[in-house]
Structure 1
Amino acid sequence: MRTFFFYDLETSGFSARYDRIMQFAGQRTNDELELIGQPVNLLVRLTDDILPSPGAVLTTHITPQMTVADGISEVDFCRYFLERVATPDTTILGYNSTRFDDEFIRHTLWRNFHDPYQWAWAEGRDRWDLLDVTRLVRALRPEGINWPTKRVAETDQLITTVNLVDMAKCNGFENDNAHDALADVKALINLAKLLRQSQPTMWRYLLDHHDKHSILSIITPGQPKPFVYASGRYSSSYQKTTVATVIAEGRTPNSYLVWDLRYDPVDFTSLSEAEILSNLTADRATRRQDDFVPVPIKELSVNKCPAVAPLGVLDAASETRINLSRAEAMKHYHQLNSQAGLIKRLTKAWRKRPAFPPASDVEGKLYDSFTPKSDQAKIRLVAAADSAGLADLHPNFTDERLDELLFRYKARQYPASLSESEEERWRKFRRVKLERELPAYLSELSKLASSPAADQFILEELQLWAESITPVDY
């Protein structure tokens, strides 16, 4: 039987590579969204080389000391997640989870010698993200749902928002403890029920078409045709939804370059490859200028649950909401098909965009490459070993990343497994890391302390945490 597992995280910062999960909460339901079992609410211990973002802690009110007192280790969290959450035939879902929470899960598993990917696809499992689903429902079939609004300060424009807290308040299932993972999970389940009850046909369609193969059947990259697409990259002024079409393969596997058919390609035919590249890489200040028109392309990743639908779902009311008619989209689609030179320049410019700088630290190198098959059995041995076993375990890894990861894994999770030389190496590692990070951390604490609105108790706890983990002669 297929089940859903709704989940949310609170973390020590925004970087999945280097920050940590501090709270994990979740609830399993059946496909009717009826609760199965009890909710899960876990704190995960921070180790003594981690300085959390003070801003993040002020938001969540979860201090490092709370995780130490009441939390479980990352090792135990990974085992719990793999054994109790990522069970066969489970759809694991959240709200903005493909961009944020799932990345933290991957990197946590990677650091702790578990496969970072299989939880999301093996044994009938998959993942889903309701954020863009909610955006697409708002654009196409909003009836039966109250949509909260907010005013944009810069433009004084009133727009609708799909912020989870606001959606909860506006629809009668108020989230009384925003930025608490369990409260957000409860709100998300209620939102899912609302979407399903208000728009059952669309709910079922998007549920049945969130996997990679179903997405490909809609966007048809082999013979591209227009499709409706909701994404946070699009403007709120048209419900973050447009009509798009594939023009080329993207830079990464499972990704495709798409053109926003809201825009007439003829307006861009005079641009050279260099001009397109300059536009794509323009800085924030340039993009905010009134006369700046972005080249309307972006990458769509079919393995990240994009919210897409066939063009036929765009009725007259939806055309008004997204300020784009099917006729206009089709006109631009046919014009684009006659612009082979423009498509070639767009594709070449997109692929010339500077890549993200490579991670300098091993914990950020998850996506550098897959681990070789020759190391996979050794990785499983590490994950299964206790402290005594790790002390005597000396795997001859082929992957050069894994030796350093193993050292840090032992130091953080099984310090008794370290030899004397490894203990000294860990002391040096912590010293260098904390000396690098402490000045910015303490500066942020000082700035926040000057605000009368800041929670002074939490700031004091963060100061004490820094003092407790800082080398004595710092």
Structure 2
Amino acid sequence: MGFVIYDLETTGLKKRFDQILQFAAVRTDENLEVLEQVQFEGRLRPHILPSPGALHVTGAHYADLIDPLRPSHDAMVGSIHETIVRWTPSMFIGFNSISYDDEVLRQAFYESLRPPIFATNMNGNSRGDLLKLARVVGTLRPDVLRTVRDESGRRVFRLADLAQANGVDPGRSHTAAADVATTLALCRLIAAEAPILWSSFMRFSNKAEVLNFIAEHDAFAAFEFKKGIQDVHPVTAIGFKPTEPNVRYCLDLTANLSALRRMTPAELVIEVAREDGPILRMKANCSPILAELWELDQDLLGDFTEADLEATASAVRGDDAFVKRLLAAAVASETVWPKSKYVEFQIYDVFIQDWDVDVCRRFHAAPWNDRLALIDRFQDPRLKKLARRLVYFERPDLLDAALRIRMDQAIQDRLNGREPDAPGRTFAGALQEFDVLEAEVGSIGPLLAAYRAHLQEQLGTPA
């Protein structure tokens, strides 16, 4: 099985309310030799306002993003989805992709009615995040992956900085194609110079391998990155989240277990809920980086020996009452998100059922003139709303005039902030982001200034 290295450029960092502007990817063989490459771009949807910071970083021009000659957002998402399906099975690798790019892809597939929305980690596909691997290699093999440090002395793992530190030409950073080329070059470097870590990276991109490893080891090491610091945690798995079996609760074996045993149930919940609390919530389907304790140098284990940690893990796992208390505290400390009235936030409410998957396929196979008649075939109310909105975005001329006016008004209400609790970026919010950006970088160029003038015009405020 080969690899797919991919990257997105987007309108901002709101995973549910920003959109993809560029997608680039290469498919390689198992030796990371390129077999095929693609690039797609899409037009701005009418309810999306780009972050000024995103335009500053990528160099994108607002006028270009709304150019009617640019491919539509739906056409771009369709091309991306078709490519991923065609390249299945592969291991999909990005940089910070599991926490961001992959989520944005799922959101785009969901809102554009293109199941399966989990396309990068089903049907034999697996996922890996080069940022996670880079942090591990930078910790265990600094001779292989060099890093720069910020003013406080912390190592920096930005893609462009890693490229520069390791002799990789980053090209025009923050364009999708250039970032793909940089990611591929760093993958080749690690695969060649740290093959054992590269093999572990590939192994744990597979959820089944993660679960098997956890089941086979009383104690093991998990790599986590918190507060700008790479931490290696010796842990033992104590159970899983009842509503999400992919989440494994792992107890840090270096925690003060005596203190935990003395805590009341309420105190234990508070302790477990802390960001640096004693329990790690590990998602088996998110490519965690794991290792056996004997693989770590002694300095990474601190004052503990491998034998100490193995003995502690055995004692914990043999204490059923203590494990039950820890599990209860872990479950009780989970955040419970209320149901949202906004369709964007409803992406994970339920899986799209087979009937509606078929309607989605028929919807996209039909000419636009025939798609309105298919909307009522959806059983899932989310998909009915998204289908109607998709027609509005792509072919508003097909909608009833009264409905089109209502949808026009709904967008204007949201953009103008007349819907106070509505998520997404408003005209006023985007202008506030301009103030922050200008304070950080100084003066802005004429193209960004033109975008700010547009926002001011929409609000009726003087330039």
Give TM-score, length-normalised by structure 1: 0.86
**AA paired with 2:254?**
R
Cα distance 1:384–1:322, how it changes in 2: closer, same or farther (>3 A)? farther
Partner Cα distance (1:334, 1:26) in 2: 45
2:295 is equivalent to residue 320 of structure 1: no
Which 10-residue stretch deviates more, 402-411 or 131-140? 131-140
Cα drift, residue 252 of structure 1: 1.6
In the alignment, the residues of structure 2 paired with residue 346 and residue 454 of structure 1 have an alpha-carbon distance, to the nearest angstrom, of 53
2:80 alignment partner in structure 1: 81
Distance in 2 (alpha carbons) for counterparts of 1:15 and 1:219:
33
Instruction: Tell me: CA distance 1:67–1:255, structure 2 relative to 1, closer, same or farther (3 Å).
Output: same
Taking structure 1 as reference, are residues 151 and 116 closer, same or farther at Cα in structure 2, changes over 3 Å only? farther
Q: Deviations over 1:48-98 (max 9, x none)?
A: 211122222222222332223374222211221122244222222101111
- For 2:159, the equivalent position in structure 1 comes to 164
CA–CA distance in structure 2, aligned partners of residues 371 and 28 of structure 1? 28
Q: Which amino acid aligns with 2:385?
A: E
Instruction: Report the alpha carbon displacement of residue 141 of structure 1 after superposing the two structures with TM.
Output: 4.1
- Percent identity, please: 25
The aligned length equals 448
Match of 1:421 in 2: 402
Q: SS of the counterpart of 2:429?
A: helix
2:270 is equivalent to residue 278 of structure 1? yes
Task: State whether residues 126 and 205 of structure 2, in contact with CA within 8 Å, keep that contact through their aligned partners in structure 1.
Answer: no
- For the 8 Å contact 2:138–2:146, the answer to whether it is kept is no
Task: Report whether the alignment pairs 1:371 with 2:352.
Answer: yes
Query: What is aligned with 1:290?
Result: none
Partners of 2:259 and 2:349 in 1: CA distance: 38
Q: Which amino acid aligns with 2:38?
A: V
Shift of 1:452: 6.1
Is the 8 Å Cα contact of residues 105 and 116 (structure 1) preserved in structure 2? Answer: no
Q: 1:161 to 1:327 in 2, by over 3 A?
A: farther
Does residue 181 in structure 1 map to residue 199 in structure 2? no
Summarize deviations over 1:306-343 as a string: whole Å, max 9, x none. 111233322xxx23146364234224323423544433
Q: Which deviates the most, 50-59 or 328-337?
A: 328-337
Please identify, of 301-310 and 223-232, the stretch whose mean Cα deviation from structure 2 is larger.
223-232
Letter in 2 for 1:43: E
Give, in angstroms, the shift of residue 444 of structure 1. Answer: 2.8
Pick one of 342, 353, 358 that aligns with 2:322: 342
RMSD across aligned C-alpha pairs, in angstroms? 2.6
Q: Structure 1 residues 211 and 452, CA, compared in 2 at 3 Å: closer, same or farther?
A: closer
- Measured after TM superposition, the shift of residue 203 of structure 1 is 1.4
Q: Give 2:5's aligned residue.
A: 6
Unaligned stretches of 5+ residues in structure 1: 153-157, 288-293
Go from structure 1 to structure 2 and tell me whether the alpha carbon gap of 1:411 and 1:469 turns closer, same or farther (over 3 Å shift). farther
Letter in 1 for 2:306: R
Counterpart residue identity of residue 131, structure 1? L
What secondary structure sits across from 2:285 in the alignment?
helix
Task: Look up the equivalent residue of 1:89 and give its one-letter code.
Answer: P
Rounded to whole Å, the distance in 1 between the matches of 2:266 and 2:358 is: 48
Matching of residue 217 in structure 1 with residue 212 in structure 2: yes
1:242 alignment partner, SS class: strand
Q: Cα distance, 1:469 vs. partner?
A: 6.9
Partner of 2:18: 19
Q: Structure 2 vs 1, CA of residues 14 and 451 (structure 1 numbering), >3 Å: closer, same or farther?
A: closer
Residue 306 of structure 1: which of 283, 288, 307 is its match?
Answer: 288
Structure 2 counterpart of 1:411, which letter?
Y
What is the DSSP-based 3-state SS (H/G/I as helix, E as strand, rest coil) of the residue aligned with 1:98?
helix
Write the letter of the residue equivalent to 1:3. Answer: G
The one of 49, 52, 57 equivalent to 2:47 is 49
Deviations 1:106-153 (A, max 9, x none): 00000011114352244433222222222233333444332333342x
Q: Which residue of 1 aligns with 2:128?
A: 128
What's the offset of the Cα at 1:193?
A: 0.7
Superposed, which structure 2 residues align to 1:24-103 within 5 Å?
24-37=23-36, 39-69=37-67, 71-86=70-85, 87-103=87-103
**Counterpart Cα distance in 1 of 2:252 and 2:312:** 9
Partner AA of 1:240 in structure 2: D
Aligned to 1:461, which of 429, 447, 450? 450
Pick from 188, 191, 195 the counterpart of residue 190 of structure 2. 195
Q: Partners of 2:171 and 2:395 in 1: how far apart?
A: 38
Give the letter for the 1:320 counterpart: D
TM-score with structure 2 setting the length: 0.88
Aligned with 1:297 (options 279, 282, 292): 279
The change in CA–CA distance for 1:227 and 1:451 in structure 2 (over 3 A counts) is closer
Measure, in 2, the Cα distance between the counterparts of 1:401 and 1:73: 22
